[in-house]
Amino acid sequence: MNKTEMLYEGKAKKVWATEDENLCIVSYKDDATAFNGLKKGTIVGKGSINNRVSNYFMKIIEDKGIPTHVVEELSDRETLVKRVEIVPLEVIVRNIAAGSLAKRLGLEEGTVMSHPVLEFCYKNDALNDPMVNTSHIIAMGFATREELDLISKYSFQINEILKGILEMDNITLVDFKIEFGRMKDGTIILADEISPDTCRFWDSRTSEKLDKDRFRRDLGGVEDAYQEILKRVMGNK
């Protein structure tokens, strides 16, 4: 499958059209941004790690019955995916309070939530991705109630699947962000990526951060943390 025109260049990925109107090629970059683009940098090797780790997680999720956009990993950095219209929501699932939740509710980072927490933010850089609830989403036409019910169900299921895989590698899944897409026939599928850029991963024994917070918070050892996730999750797969 060959790339034709570039459809979109985001902060961490480029998306290309292909000769097949129903397929795209995603190309992962080493560029890193945080705080809505205010902080910029490079994390050497990130593109390849995120591509491989995300595809690995999505394959397992697909095998458990949740449809995903992944078709085939083409190379270290590139993956063939189904073409979708992205539902303009960042869907966040949280097991442990961190980041904006800790701040908003005055919780100490590391507080275990008694039940997984589901949040939606409207994907809009100019508005700083504001949090929205179900009635905002329906009233704004971002998704229908039926779509949102399915997205919510899938998101909690994905949380359980990922927690299970990661526990075996001594990684605690603190929280993560996912995005969904709509295919031409209306089917909702998991899209975007699942990687150390979009999840908080803590070492289960030491609580060391093994994710993008090392970049956001200038903690150092950013590349090593991404490599560690690749090694633990994929081993010699």
Is 191 a binding residue for ligand UDP by CB under 6 A? The answer is no
Q: Which is nearer to ligand UDP, 5 or 108 (CB)?
A: 108
DSSP code, position 173: E
Ramachandran quadrant class, 110 (left: phi over 0; alpha: psi -120 to 50; beta: rest): left
Contacts of 153 (CB under 8 A, 6+ apart): none
Is 175 a binding residue for ligand UDP by CB under 6 A? The answer is yes
Is 66 a binding residue for ligand UDP by CB under 6 A? The answer is no
Q: What span, in angstroms and rounded, lies between the C-alpha atoms of 81 and 59? A: 12
Q: What are phi and psi of 226, to 5 degrees?
A: -65, -40
Q: Which is nearer to ligand UDP, 21 or 105 (CB)?
A: 105
Question: Smallest distance from the beta carbon of 84 to ligand UDP, in angstroms?
Answer: 18
Angle 143-144-146 (CA atoms, 0-180°, nearest 5)?
A: 125
Q: Quickly tell me which residue has 């150092």 as its tokens.
A: 220
Question: Smallest distance from the beta carbon of 186 to ligand UDP, in angstroms?
Answer: 26
| Interaction residues for ligand UDP, span 2-61 (CB under 6 A) | none
Is 92 a binding residue for ligand UDP by CB under 6 A? The answer is yes
Is 177 a binding residue for ligand UDP by CB under 6 A? The answer is yes
Contacts of 163 (CB under 8 A, 6+ apart): 95, 173
| Interaction residues for ligand UDP, span 118-147 (CB under 6 A) | 129
Query: What does the CA dihedral 67, 80, 51, 131 come to, rounded to 10 degrees?
Result: -50
Q: Which of 13-21, 45-53, 195-203, 227-235 is the region at the interface with ligand UDP (rule: CB under 6 A)?
A: 195-203
Question: Smallest distance from the beta carbon of 109 to ligand UDP, in angstroms?
Answer: 10
Question: Smallest distance from the beta carbon of 75 to ligand UDP, in angstroms?
Answer: 24
Contact positions toward ligand UDP, by CB under 6 A?
Answer: 90, 92, 98-101, 129, 175-177, 198-200, 212
